[in-house]
Chain A
Amino acid sequence: MFPDLIVKPLGLKELNKILPSLPKDRKFLSGGTDLVVRANADIENSQCWIDISGLKELRYIKENAKTVLIGSGVKVSDFEDSSIIKKHLPALLSALPQFASPSLRNMATLGGNCANASPSADLACALVSEKADIVLYLKGKKRKMPLKDFFLGLRKTALKKDELIWGFEIPKINHKGVYMKLASRSSFAISKIGLAISADINKEKVEYLSIALASVAPKIITAPKTRAFLKNKKINSEILDEAALIIQKEVSPITDIRSDGEYRRAMSGVLLKKGLKQILVKF
Chain B
Amino acid sequence: MKNMNILKSEDGLFEIALKINGENKKFKVKNNEFLLDALRRYGYKGAKKGCDSGDCGSCAIMFNGKPVLSCMMPAVTAHGGEIVTIEGIGTIEKPHAIQEAYVEAGAVQCGFCTPGMIIVTKHLLEKKPSPSDEDIKKELDGNLCRCTGYVSQIKAVRIAAKKMKKKGKK
Residues of A participating in the B interface, judged by any CB pair closer than 8 Å: 1-10, 14, 18, 29, 32-33, 36-37, 49, 51, 53-54, 77, 97, 100-104, 106-107, 187-188
Q: Are A6 and B74 in contact (CB under 8 A)?
A: yes
Known contacts A2-B31, A32-B73, A77-B66: A9-B138 contact under CB 8 Å: no
Q: Are A3 and B31 in contact (CB under 8 A)?
A: yes
Q: State whether the Cβ of B79 lies closer than 8 Å to any Cβ in chain A.
A: yes
Docked CA distance A272–B106 (Å): 44
- Give the Cβ gap from A73 to chain B, nearest Cβ, in Å: 13
Q: State whether the Cβ of B32 lies closer than 8 Å to any Cβ in chain A.
A: yes
- Give the Cβ gap from A166 to chain B, nearest Cβ, in Å: 21
Candidate in B32, B55, B74 with the most chain A CB atoms within 10 angstroms: B74
Q: How many residues of B contact A (CB 8 A)?
A: 32
- Please tell me which one of the listed residues B9, B73, B138 contacts residue A102 in the complex, with CB atoms under 8 A apart: B138
Q: Are A101 and B74 in contact (CB under 8 A)?
A: no
> Which 9 residue pairs are nearest across A and B when measured between Cβ atoms?
A101-B142, A2-B32, A106-B66, A103-B67, A4-B9, A7-B6, A6-B76, A103-B69, A107-B68
Count of A-B contacts with CB under 8 A? 86
Q: Are B141 and A102 in contact (CB under 8 A)?
A: yes
Known contacts A7-B7, A102-B142: A107-B69 contact under CB 8 Å: yes
Q: Which residues of the other chain, A, contact B8 by a CB distance below 8 angstroms? A: 5
Docked CA distance A1–B74 (Å): 11
Q: Which residues of the other chain, A, contact B77 by a CB distance below 8 angstroms? A: 6, 8, 29, 32, 51, 53
- Give the Cβ gap from A262 to chain B, nearest Cβ, in Å: 29
Q: Are A6 and B31 in contact (CB under 8 A)?
A: yes
Q: Are A103 and B68 in contact (CB under 8 A)?
A: yes
Q: Are A33 and B72 in contact (CB under 8 A)?
A: yes
- Please tell me which one of the listed residues A5, A51, A102 contacts residue B67 in the complex, with CB atoms under 8 A apart: A102
Q: State whether the Cβ of B54 lies closer than 8 Å to any Cβ in chain A.
A: yes
- Give the Cβ gap from A83 to chain B, nearest Cβ, in Å: 15
Contact pattern, B 1-44, Cβ under 8 Å of A = 1, otherwise 0: 00001111100101000000000000000011000000000000
Docked CA distance A188–B54 (Å): 10
Q: State whether the Cβ of B91 lies closer than 8 Å to any Cβ in chain A.
A: no
- Give the Cβ gap from A110 to chain B, nearest Cβ, in Å: 16
Known contacts A8-B79, A9-B5: A103-B73 contact under CB 8 Å: no
Q: Which residues of the other chain, B, contact A100 by a CB distance below 8 angstroms? A: 54, 142
Docked CA distance A10–B77 (Å): 12
Known contacts A6-B74, A53-B77: A1-B32 contact under CB 8 Å: yes
Q: Are A33 and B54 in contact (CB under 8 A)?
A: yes
- Which residue of A has the minimal Cβ distance to B73? A32
Q: Are A14 and B5 in contact (CB under 8 A)?
A: yes
- Give the Cβ gap from B13 to chain A, nearest Cβ, in Å: 11
Known contacts A2-B32, A7-B5, A103-B60: A37-B72 contact under CB 8 Å: yes
Contact pattern, B 100-116, Cβ under 8 Å of A = 1, otherwise 0: 00000000000000000
Q: State whether the Cβ of B57 lies closer than 8 Å to any Cβ in chain A.
A: yes
- Give the Cβ gap from A93 to chain B, nearest Cβ, in Å: 14
Q: Are B67 and A106 in contact (CB under 8 A)?
A: yes
Q: State whether the Cβ of B120 lies closer than 8 Å to any Cβ in chain A.
A: yes
Q: Are B60 and A36 in contact (CB under 8 A)?
A: no
- Please tell me which one of the listed residues A6, A14, A54, A103 contacts residue B57 in the complex, with CB atoms under 8 A apart: A103
Docked CA distance A37–B54 (Å): 9
Q: Which residues of the other chain, B, contact A54 by a CB distance below 8 angstroms? A: 5, 80
Docked CA distance A53–B79 (Å): 11
Docked CA distance A32–B77 (Å): 9
Q: Which residues of the other chain, A, contact B60 by a CB distance below 8 angstroms? A: 103
Docked CA distance A53–B66 (Å): 15
Docked CA distance A1–B76 (Å): 14
